[in-house]
Protein backbone atom coordinates (compact mmCIF):
# COMPACT_ATOMS: atom_id res chain seq x y z
CA UNK A 1 0.00 0.00 0.00
CA UNK A 2 1.41 3.39 -1.00
CA UNK A 3 1.87 5.87 1.84
CA UNK A 4 -0.28 8.30 -0.15
CA UNK A 5 -3.25 5.93 -0.01
CA UNK A 6 -2.96 5.77 3.78
CA UNK A 7 -3.35 9.53 4.22
CA UNK A 8 -6.61 11.17 5.19
CA UNK A 9 -8.31 13.64 2.89
CA UNK A 10 -7.22 16.49 5.16
CA UNK A 11 -3.61 15.33 5.05
CA UNK A 12 -3.66 14.90 1.27
CA UNK A 13 -5.06 18.36 0.63
CA UNK A 14 -2.51 19.97 2.95
CA UNK A 15 0.40 18.09 1.37
CA UNK A 16 -0.67 19.11 -2.14
CA UNK A 17 -1.36 22.74 -1.20
CA UNK A 18 2.10 23.08 0.38
CA UNK A 19 3.95 21.34 -2.46
CA UNK A 20 5.02 18.29 -0.47
CA UNK A 21 3.49 16.05 -3.13
CA UNK A 22 1.81 16.57 -6.49
CA UNK A 23 -1.85 15.89 -7.12
CA UNK A 24 -0.83 13.65 -10.01
CA UNK A 25 1.38 11.49 -7.77
CA UNK A 26 -1.47 11.07 -5.28
CA UNK A 27 -3.89 10.22 -8.08
CA UNK A 28 -1.54 7.67 -9.62
CA UNK A 29 -1.08 6.01 -6.22
CA UNK A 30 -4.84 5.63 -5.78
CA UNK A 31 -5.34 4.35 -9.32
CA UNK A 32 -2.64 1.77 -8.67
CA UNK A 33 -4.36 0.83 -5.43
CA UNK A 34 -7.65 0.33 -7.30
CA UNK A 35 -5.92 -1.96 -9.80
CA UNK A 36 -4.39 -3.93 -6.94
CA UNK A 37 -7.36 -4.26 -4.60
CA UNK A 38 -10.59 -3.90 -6.53
CA UNK A 39 -10.48 -7.35 -8.18
CA UNK A 40 -10.80 -8.85 -4.67
CA UNK A 41 -13.73 -6.72 -3.49
CA UNK A 42 -15.53 -5.47 -6.64
CA UNK A 43 -16.37 -2.12 -5.06
CA UNK A 44 -15.33 0.28 -7.84
CA UNK A 45 -17.61 -0.15 -10.86
CA UNK A 46 -16.04 2.39 -13.22
CA UNK A 47 -12.47 3.67 -12.90
CA UNK A 48 -12.20 7.28 -14.07
CA UNK A 49 -8.47 7.08 -14.75
CA UNK A 50 -8.11 9.48 -17.69
CA UNK A 51 -10.37 12.14 -16.19
CA UNK A 52 -8.63 11.83 -12.84
CA UNK A 53 -5.18 12.25 -14.36
CA UNK A 54 -6.33 15.29 -16.35
CA UNK A 55 -7.84 16.88 -13.25
CA UNK A 56 -4.74 16.19 -11.18
CA UNK A 57 -2.42 17.64 -13.81
CA UNK A 58 -4.60 20.74 -14.06
CA UNK A 59 -4.52 21.06 -10.26
CA UNK A 60 -0.73 20.91 -10.25
CA UNK A 61 -0.52 23.50 -13.03
CA UNK A 62 -2.71 25.93 -11.10
CA UNK A 63 -0.65 25.52 -7.95
CA UNK A 64 2.57 26.00 -9.93
CA UNK A 65 1.12 29.22 -11.36
CA UNK A 66 0.55 30.53 -7.85
CA UNK A 67 -3.21 30.06 -7.71
CA UNK A 68 -4.87 29.37 -4.38
CA UNK A 69 -5.69 25.66 -4.00
CA UNK A 70 -9.08 24.61 -2.68
CA UNK A 71 -9.77 22.89 0.64
CA UNK A 72 -9.95 19.50 -1.11
CA UNK A 73 -6.98 20.02 -3.41
CA UNK A 74 -6.21 16.74 -5.15
CA UNK A 75 -8.26 14.55 -2.78
CA UNK A 76 -9.31 11.32 -4.57
CA UNK A 77 -12.98 10.53 -4.03
CA UNK A 78 -15.49 7.94 -5.21
CA UNK A 79 -19.02 8.76 -6.36
CA UNK A 80 -21.92 6.34 -5.92
CA UNK A 81 -23.65 5.02 -9.03
CA UNK A 82 -26.86 6.98 -8.34
CA UNK A 83 -25.21 10.41 -8.01
CA UNK A 84 -24.95 12.44 -11.19
CA UNK A 85 -21.44 12.84 -12.59
CA UNK A 86 -21.36 13.71 -16.27
CA UNK A 87 -18.28 11.58 -16.84
CA UNK A 88 -20.19 8.30 -16.47
CA UNK A 89 -23.76 7.03 -16.56
CA UNK A 90 -25.95 7.28 -13.49
CA UNK A 91 -26.98 3.62 -13.51
CA UNK A 92 -28.23 3.01 -9.95
CA UNK A 93 -26.93 -0.50 -10.57
CA UNK A 94 -29.42 -1.18 -13.39
CA UNK A 95 -28.29 -2.92 -16.60
CA UNK A 96 -30.81 -0.95 -18.67
CA UNK A 97 -29.51 2.44 -17.44
CA UNK A 98 -25.97 2.25 -18.80
CA UNK A 99 -26.65 4.98 -21.37
CA UNK A 100 -28.12 7.41 -18.84
CA UNK A 101 -25.47 10.12 -19.05
CA UNK A 102 -26.63 13.12 -17.01
CA UNK A 103 -26.46 16.61 -18.53
CA UNK A 104 -24.94 18.10 -15.36
CA UNK A 105 -23.23 17.10 -12.15
CA UNK A 106 -25.23 16.97 -8.94
CA UNK A 107 -24.78 20.42 -7.44
CA UNK A 108 -22.85 19.14 -4.43
CA UNK A 109 -20.52 17.23 -6.74
CA UNK A 110 -19.78 20.51 -8.52
CA UNK A 111 -18.96 22.11 -5.16
CA UNK A 112 -16.51 19.34 -4.37
CA UNK A 113 -14.89 19.54 -7.80
CA UNK A 114 -14.53 23.30 -7.43
CA UNK A 115 -12.83 22.67 -4.08
CA UNK A 116 -10.27 20.44 -5.80
CA UNK A 117 -11.62 16.92 -5.23
CA UNK A 118 -10.80 14.37 -7.94
CA UNK A 119 -13.26 11.51 -8.65
CA UNK A 120 -11.28 8.35 -9.33
CA UNK A 121 -14.08 5.77 -9.36
CA UNK A 122 -17.77 5.03 -9.13
CA UNK A 123 -19.04 3.03 -6.13
CA UNK A 124 -21.21 -0.07 -6.46
CA UNK A 125 -24.72 -0.33 -4.97
CA UNK A 126 -27.78 -2.59 -5.01
CA UNK A 127 -30.11 -1.74 -7.86
CA UNK A 128 -32.35 1.21 -6.94
CA UNK A 129 -30.49 1.31 -3.59
CA UNK A 130 -33.26 -0.39 -1.63
CA UNK A 131 -31.45 -3.27 0.04
CA UNK A 132 -29.07 -3.48 3.01
CA UNK A 133 -26.54 -5.32 0.84
CA UNK A 134 -24.56 -4.43 -2.29
CA UNK A 135 -25.25 -6.62 -5.29
CA UNK A 136 -26.85 -6.11 -8.71
CA UNK A 137 -27.15 -7.65 -12.16
CA UNK A 138 -24.98 -4.96 -13.79
CA UNK A 139 -21.77 -5.09 -11.77
CA UNK A 140 -22.28 -8.02 -9.41
CA UNK A 141 -21.49 -8.34 -5.72
CA UNK A 142 -19.25 -6.15 -3.59
CA UNK A 143 -17.40 -8.10 -0.90
CA UNK A 144 -16.83 -7.08 2.68
CA UNK A 145 -13.05 -6.52 2.97
CA UNK A 146 -13.02 -7.86 6.54
CA UNK A 147 -14.96 -11.07 5.85
CA UNK A 148 -15.99 -12.20 2.35
CA UNK A 149 -18.76 -14.34 3.76
CA UNK A 150 -20.63 -11.39 5.27
CA UNK A 151 -22.42 -8.56 3.54
CA UNK A 152 -20.71 -5.16 3.20
CA UNK A 153 -23.96 -3.38 3.98
CA UNK A 154 -25.83 -1.15 1.61
CA UNK A 155 -26.72 0.71 -0.26
CA UNK A 156 -23.49 2.76 -0.35
CA UNK A 157 -21.49 -0.42 0.09
CA UNK A 158 -19.18 0.10 -2.85
CA UNK A 159 -18.05 3.53 -1.69
CA UNK A 160 -17.56 2.34 1.90
CA UNK A 161 -15.30 -0.51 0.74
CA UNK A 162 -13.40 1.80 -1.62
CA UNK A 163 -12.59 4.15 1.25
CA UNK A 164 -11.83 1.38 3.74
CA UNK A 165 -9.30 -0.28 1.43
CA UNK A 166 -7.48 2.93 0.44
CA UNK A 167 -8.78 3.17 -3.13
CA UNK A 168 -10.01 6.70 -2.40
CA UNK A 169 -9.69 9.01 0.58
CA UNK A 170 -13.43 9.71 0.73
CA UNK A 171 -16.68 8.68 -0.90
CA UNK A 172 -20.09 10.10 -1.70
CA UNK A 173 -23.26 8.15 -0.99
CA UNK A 174 -26.81 8.56 0.23
CA UNK A 175 -28.93 7.35 3.12
CA UNK A 176 -32.66 6.46 2.99
CA UNK A 177 -32.58 3.79 5.68
CA UNK A 178 -28.99 3.71 6.92
CA UNK A 179 -27.31 3.43 3.52
CA UNK A 180 -24.31 5.53 4.58
CA UNK A 181 -23.95 4.50 8.22
CA UNK A 182 -24.48 0.75 7.85
CA UNK A 183 -21.82 0.10 5.16
CA UNK A 184 -19.43 2.47 6.95
CA UNK A 185 -19.98 0.43 10.11
CA UNK A 186 -19.34 -2.82 8.22
CA UNK A 187 -16.18 -1.41 6.66
CA UNK A 188 -14.74 0.16 9.81
CA UNK A 189 -14.90 3.78 8.60
CA UNK A 190 -16.96 6.87 9.43
CA UNK A 191 -19.99 8.35 7.69
CA UNK A 192 -22.25 11.34 8.15
CA UNK A 193 -25.96 11.21 7.40
CA UNK A 194 -26.82 14.94 7.27
CA UNK A 195 -30.15 16.45 8.25
CA UNK A 196 -32.89 16.33 5.64
CA UNK A 197 -32.30 19.08 3.10
CA UNK A 198 -28.74 20.00 4.11
CA UNK A 199 -27.33 18.44 0.92
CA UNK A 200 -29.43 18.73 -2.27
CA UNK A 201 -30.71 15.91 -4.44
CA UNK A 202 -28.22 13.63 -6.25
CA UNK A 203 -29.53 14.75 -9.63
CA UNK A 204 -30.43 18.11 -11.12
CA UNK A 205 -33.30 16.54 -13.05
CA UNK A 206 -36.01 16.62 -10.39
CA UNK A 207 -38.96 14.34 -11.19
CA UNK A 208 -41.95 13.18 -9.13
CA UNK A 209 -40.80 10.65 -6.54
CA UNK A 210 -42.33 9.01 -3.50
CA UNK A 211 -42.78 11.33 -0.56
CA UNK A 212 -40.59 9.15 1.65
CA UNK A 213 -37.64 9.61 -0.72
CA UNK A 214 -38.02 13.36 -0.33
CA UNK A 215 -38.30 13.16 3.46
CA UNK A 216 -36.02 10.27 4.46
CA UNK A 217 -33.16 10.28 1.92
CA UNK A 218 -30.13 12.56 1.96
CA UNK A 219 -26.64 12.58 0.46
CA UNK A 220 -23.49 12.58 2.54
CA UNK A 221 -19.80 11.71 2.86
CA UNK A 222 -17.87 8.60 3.89
CA UNK A 223 -14.27 8.87 5.08
CA UNK A 224 -11.67 7.38 7.40
CA UNK A 225 -11.60 10.23 9.93
CA UNK A 226 -14.25 12.43 11.51
CA UNK A 227 -12.21 15.51 10.58
CA UNK A 228 -12.58 14.49 6.93
CA UNK A 229 -16.36 14.19 7.30
CA UNK A 230 -16.40 17.71 8.69
CA UNK A 231 -14.21 18.97 5.84
CA UNK A 232 -16.32 17.33 3.13
CA UNK A 233 -19.66 18.34 4.62
CA UNK A 234 -18.43 21.90 5.03
CA UNK A 235 -17.92 22.05 1.26
CA UNK A 236 -20.95 20.09 0.00
CA UNK A 237 -23.80 21.35 2.19
CA UNK A 238 -26.15 24.16 1.20
CA UNK A 239 -29.17 24.73 -1.02
CA UNK A 240 -29.07 24.75 -4.80
CA UNK A 241 -31.43 26.32 -7.34
CA UNK A 242 -33.19 23.04 -8.22
CA UNK A 243 -33.99 20.99 -5.13
CA UNK A 244 -36.96 22.81 -3.52
CA UNK A 245 -36.38 21.27 -0.08
CA UNK A 246 -32.66 22.03 0.14
CA UNK A 247 -31.61 24.55 2.76
CA UNK A 248 -28.57 26.62 3.64
CA UNK A 249 -27.80 26.60 7.35
CA UNK A 250 -24.46 27.71 8.87
CA UNK A 251 -22.13 24.84 9.76
CA UNK A 252 -20.13 25.82 12.85
CA UNK A 253 -16.54 24.66 13.08
CA UNK A 254 -16.99 23.55 16.71
CA UNK A 255 -19.59 22.89 19.39
CA UNK A 256 -19.60 24.69 22.72
CA UNK A 257 -23.12 23.90 23.96
CA UNK A 258 -24.36 21.46 26.61
CA UNK A 259 -22.42 18.20 26.57
CA UNK A 260 -25.03 15.68 27.67
CA UNK A 261 -25.43 12.24 26.10
CA UNK A 262 -28.36 9.82 26.27
CA UNK A 263 -27.04 6.26 25.98
CA UNK A 264 -29.26 3.46 24.67
CA UNK A 265 -27.56 0.12 24.04
CA UNK A 266 -30.86 -1.68 23.35
CA UNK A 267 -33.23 0.85 21.75
CA UNK A 268 -36.89 0.04 22.45
CA UNK A 269 -35.80 -3.06 24.37
CA UNK A 270 -36.02 -5.36 21.35
CA UNK A 271 -32.74 -7.11 22.11
CA UNK A 272 -29.04 -6.52 21.41
CA UNK A 273 -26.03 -8.80 20.94
CA UNK A 274 -23.33 -8.59 23.66
CA UNK A 275 -20.56 -7.24 21.41
CA UNK A 276 -22.84 -4.43 20.25
CA UNK A 277 -23.73 -3.43 23.80
CA UNK A 278 -20.02 -3.52 24.66
CA UNK A 279 -19.25 -1.14 21.81
CA UNK A 280 -21.88 1.32 23.03
CA UNK A 281 -20.44 1.15 26.56
CA UNK A 282 -16.92 1.73 25.22
CA UNK A 283 -18.09 4.79 23.29
CA UNK A 284 -19.97 6.07 26.35
CA UNK A 285 -16.80 5.69 28.45
CA UNK A 286 -14.84 7.61 25.81
CA UNK A 287 -17.33 10.47 25.88
CA UNK A 288 -17.36 10.54 29.67
CA UNK A 289 -13.57 10.70 29.73
CA UNK A 290 -13.73 13.61 27.28
CA UNK A 291 -16.00 15.57 29.61
CA UNK A 292 -19.46 14.68 28.36
CA UNK A 293 -22.21 14.03 30.92
CA UNK A 294 -23.33 10.50 30.05
CA UNK A 295 -26.65 9.05 31.22
CA UNK A 296 -28.67 5.95 30.42
CA UNK A 297 -31.84 7.37 28.84
CA UNK A 298 -34.24 5.95 26.27
CA UNK A 299 -35.07 8.32 23.40
CA UNK A 300 -38.76 8.69 22.57
CA UNK A 301 -40.67 5.89 20.90
CA UNK A 302 -37.97 4.32 18.75
CA UNK A 303 -40.31 1.38 18.22
CA UNK A 304 -42.99 3.61 16.74
CA UNK A 305 -40.56 5.64 14.62
CA UNK A 306 -39.03 2.49 13.14
CA UNK A 307 -42.44 0.92 12.53
CA UNK A 308 -43.76 3.96 10.69
CA UNK A 309 -40.56 4.21 8.61
CA UNK A 310 -41.09 0.64 7.47
CA UNK A 311 -44.82 1.02 6.86
CA UNK A 312 -44.43 4.19 4.81
CA UNK A 313 -41.46 2.94 2.78
CA UNK A 314 -43.03 -0.45 2.06
CA UNK A 315 -46.40 1.09 1.19
CA UNK A 316 -44.83 3.53 -1.26
CA UNK A 317 -42.14 1.34 -2.79
CA UNK A 318 -43.83 -2.06 -2.81
CA UNK A 319 -46.35 -1.53 -5.60
CA UNK A 320 -43.78 0.00 -7.93
CA UNK A 321 -41.04 -2.52 -7.31
CA UNK A 322 -43.31 -5.55 -7.57
CA UNK A 323 -45.47 -4.49 -10.53
CA UNK A 324 -44.17 -5.71 -13.92
CA UNK A 325 -43.65 -2.97 -16.50
CA UNK A 326 -43.24 -0.08 -14.06
CA UNK A 327 -39.52 0.19 -14.93
CA UNK A 328 -38.00 0.13 -18.43
CA UNK A 329 -36.28 -3.12 -17.54
CA UNK A 330 -36.21 -5.80 -14.85
CA UNK A 331 -34.84 -5.42 -11.35
CA UNK A 332 -32.46 -8.05 -10.03
CA UNK A 333 -33.94 -11.20 -8.56
CA UNK A 334 -32.37 -10.35 -5.20
CA UNK A 335 -34.05 -6.96 -4.99
CA UNK A 336 -37.44 -8.35 -6.03
CA UNK A 337 -37.16 -11.24 -3.57
CA UNK A 338 -36.07 -8.95 -0.75
CA UNK A 339 -38.85 -6.46 -1.24
CA UNK A 340 -41.54 -9.10 -1.73
CA UNK A 341 -40.51 -10.64 1.60
CA UNK A 342 -40.29 -7.22 3.22
CA UNK A 343 -43.78 -6.20 2.11
CA UNK A 344 -45.17 -9.54 3.29
CA UNK A 345 -44.13 -8.67 6.82
CA UNK A 346 -45.67 -5.18 6.91
CA UNK A 347 -49.13 -3.84 7.66
CA UNK A 348 -49.36 -1.61 4.61
CA UNK A 349 -50.91 1.85 4.71
CA UNK A 350 -53.26 1.03 1.87
CA UNK A 351 -55.93 3.65 2.54
CA UNK A 352 -55.62 7.41 2.29
CA UNK A 353 -56.61 8.02 5.94
CA UNK A 354 -54.03 5.51 7.23
CA UNK A 355 -51.29 6.98 5.03
CA UNK A 356 -52.11 10.53 6.06
CA UNK A 357 -52.26 9.57 9.73
CA UNK A 358 -48.76 8.07 9.54
CA UNK A 359 -47.28 11.31 8.23
CA UNK A 360 -49.20 13.31 10.83
CA UNK A 361 -47.85 11.08 13.60
CA UNK A 362 -44.33 11.70 12.30
CA UNK A 363 -44.78 15.36 13.17
CA UNK A 364 -45.73 14.52 16.76
CA UNK A 365 -42.83 12.10 17.15
CA UNK A 366 -40.40 14.70 15.77
CA UNK A 367 -41.64 17.10 18.43
CA UNK A 368 -40.91 14.54 21.16
CA UNK A 369 -37.39 14.07 19.85
CA UNK A 370 -36.86 17.83 19.64
CA UNK A 371 -37.76 18.10 23.32
CA UNK A 372 -35.51 15.16 24.17
CA UNK A 373 -32.58 16.72 22.31
CA UNK A 374 -33.03 19.88 24.36
CA UNK A 375 -32.03 17.81 27.38
CA UNK A 376 -29.63 15.46 25.56
CA UNK A 377 -27.94 17.06 22.53
CA UNK A 378 -26.48 13.65 21.62
CA UNK A 379 -28.10 10.21 21.50
CA UNK A 380 -25.55 7.38 21.50
CA UNK A 381 -26.57 3.91 20.39
CA UNK A 382 -25.86 1.05 18.00
CA UNK A 383 -25.81 1.25 14.23
CA UNK A 384 -27.27 -2.25 14.20
CA UNK A 385 -27.97 -4.44 17.20
CA UNK A 386 -26.42 -7.54 15.60
CA UNK A 387 -23.33 -8.56 13.65
CA UNK A 388 -23.35 -8.03 9.90
CA UNK A 389 -25.16 -11.08 8.48
CA UNK A 390 -23.95 -13.77 6.14
CA UNK A 391 -24.46 -13.19 2.43
CA UNK A 392 -27.97 -14.21 1.41
CA UNK A 393 -29.52 -14.18 4.88
CA UNK A 394 -31.84 -11.30 3.99
CA UNK A 395 -33.30 -13.39 1.15
CA UNK A 396 -34.39 -16.31 3.33
CA UNK A 397 -37.95 -15.10 3.89
CA UNK A 398 -40.19 -12.50 5.53
CA UNK A 399 -38.91 -13.44 8.99
CA UNK A 400 -35.38 -12.40 8.01
CA UNK A 401 -36.43 -9.06 6.54
CA UNK A 402 -38.42 -8.31 9.69
CA UNK A 403 -35.53 -9.29 11.95
CA UNK A 404 -33.11 -7.15 9.94
CA UNK A 405 -35.40 -4.14 10.21
CA UNK A 406 -35.64 -4.67 13.97
CA UNK A 407 -31.85 -4.76 14.21
CA UNK A 408 -31.70 -1.45 12.33
CA UNK A 409 -34.41 0.30 14.34
CA UNK A 410 -32.26 3.19 15.59
CA UNK A 411 -30.70 3.51 12.15
CA UNK A 412 -34.03 4.10 10.41
CA UNK A 413 -35.37 6.29 13.22
CA UNK A 414 -32.87 8.98 12.22
CA UNK A 415 -34.11 8.73 8.63
CA UNK A 416 -37.75 8.86 9.67
CA UNK A 417 -37.16 12.07 11.63
CA UNK A 418 -34.65 13.61 9.19
CA UNK A 419 -31.95 13.88 11.87
CA UNK A 420 -28.16 14.03 11.43
CA UNK A 421 -26.15 11.01 12.57
CA UNK A 422 -22.53 9.90 12.45
CA UNK A 423 -21.33 6.29 12.41
CA UNK A 424 -17.93 5.82 14.04
CA UNK A 425 -15.96 2.62 14.77
CA UNK A 426 -14.98 1.58 18.29
CA UNK A 427 -12.73 -1.39 17.55
CA UNK A 428 -12.99 -5.02 16.47
CA UNK A 429 -15.24 -7.85 17.63
CA UNK A 430 -14.48 -11.35 16.35
CA UNK A 431 -12.07 -9.79 13.87
CA UNK A 432 -14.69 -7.50 12.32
CA UNK A 433 -15.40 -3.80 12.84
CA UNK A 434 -17.72 -2.76 15.62
CA UNK A 435 -19.03 0.74 16.17
CA UNK A 436 -21.82 3.09 17.18
CA UNK A 437 -23.80 6.04 15.90
CA UNK A 438 -24.41 9.42 17.46
CA UNK A 439 -27.62 11.27 16.57
CA UNK A 440 -28.24 14.96 17.14
CA UNK A 441 -31.02 17.49 16.58
CA UNK A 442 -32.04 18.80 13.19
CA UNK A 443 -29.16 20.83 11.69
CA UNK A 444 -26.92 19.74 14.56
CA UNK A 445 -24.30 18.05 12.39
CA UNK A 446 -21.56 19.90 14.28
CA UNK A 447 -22.82 18.41 17.55
CA UNK A 448 -22.80 14.83 16.25
CA UNK A 449 -19.38 15.36 14.68
CA UNK A 450 -17.99 16.71 17.97
CA UNK A 451 -19.13 13.62 19.86
CA UNK A 452 -17.88 11.29 17.12
CA UNK A 453 -14.51 13.05 17.15
CA UNK A 454 -14.11 12.34 20.88
CA UNK A 455 -15.04 8.68 20.40
CA UNK A 456 -12.56 8.39 17.54
CA UNK A 457 -9.81 10.03 19.61
CA UNK A 458 -10.22 7.39 22.31
CA UNK A 459 -10.89 4.31 20.19
CA UNK A 460 -8.68 4.94 17.13
CA UNK A 461 -9.07 4.19 13.41
CA UNK A 462 -9.29 0.76 11.77
CA UNK A 463 -8.53 1.50 8.12
CA UNK A 464 -7.15 1.47 5.46
CA UNK A 465 -6.81 -2.28 5.26
CA UNK A 466 -5.97 -4.97 2.75
CA UNK A 467 -8.93 -7.28 1.98
CA UNK A 468 -9.09 -10.37 4.14
CA UNK A 469 -9.52 -13.82 2.57
pLDDT per position as a tens digit, 290-311: 999 999 999 999 999 999 999 9
Q: How far, CA to CA in Å, does 469 sit from each of 2, 78, 144?
A: 21, 24, 10
The dihedral built from the CA positions of residue 292, 298, 301 and 303, taken in this order, carries a sign that is positive
Which pLDDT score is estimated for 272?
98
Active site residues: 80, 155, 179
Which pLDDT score is estimated for 25?
98
Q: Based on the number of CB atoms within 10 Å of its own CB, is 363 exposed (0-12), middle (13-18) or buried (19 or more)?
A: exposed
The dihedral built from the CA positions of residue 20, 23, 24 and 25, taken in this order, carries a sign that is positive
CB 444 within 8 A of CB 420: yes
CATH number of 3-459: 3.90.1300.10
206 band by pLDDT with thresholds 50, 70 and 90: confident
- Residue-range domain boundaries for the chain: 3-459
Which pLDDT score is estimated for 327?
83
Element (H, E) at 260: strand 260-263
pLDDT in tens, 98-124: 999 999 999 999 999 999 999 999 999
For the segment 54-76, the average pLDDT, to the nearest whole number, is 97
Amino acid sequence: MSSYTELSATEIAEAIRTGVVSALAVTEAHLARIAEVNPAVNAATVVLADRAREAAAAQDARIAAGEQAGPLAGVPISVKENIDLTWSATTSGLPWATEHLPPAHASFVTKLLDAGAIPVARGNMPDIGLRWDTDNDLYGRTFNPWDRGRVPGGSSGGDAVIVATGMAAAGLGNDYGGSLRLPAHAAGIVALRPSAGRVPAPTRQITPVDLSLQAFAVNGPLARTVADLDLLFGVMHGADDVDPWSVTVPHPSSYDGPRRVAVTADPAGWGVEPQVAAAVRAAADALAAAGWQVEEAEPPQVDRCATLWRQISASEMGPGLLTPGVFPGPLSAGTVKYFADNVAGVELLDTAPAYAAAWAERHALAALWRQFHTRYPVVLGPVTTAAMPAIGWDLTGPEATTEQWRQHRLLVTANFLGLPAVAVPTGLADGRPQGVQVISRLHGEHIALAAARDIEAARGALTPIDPRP
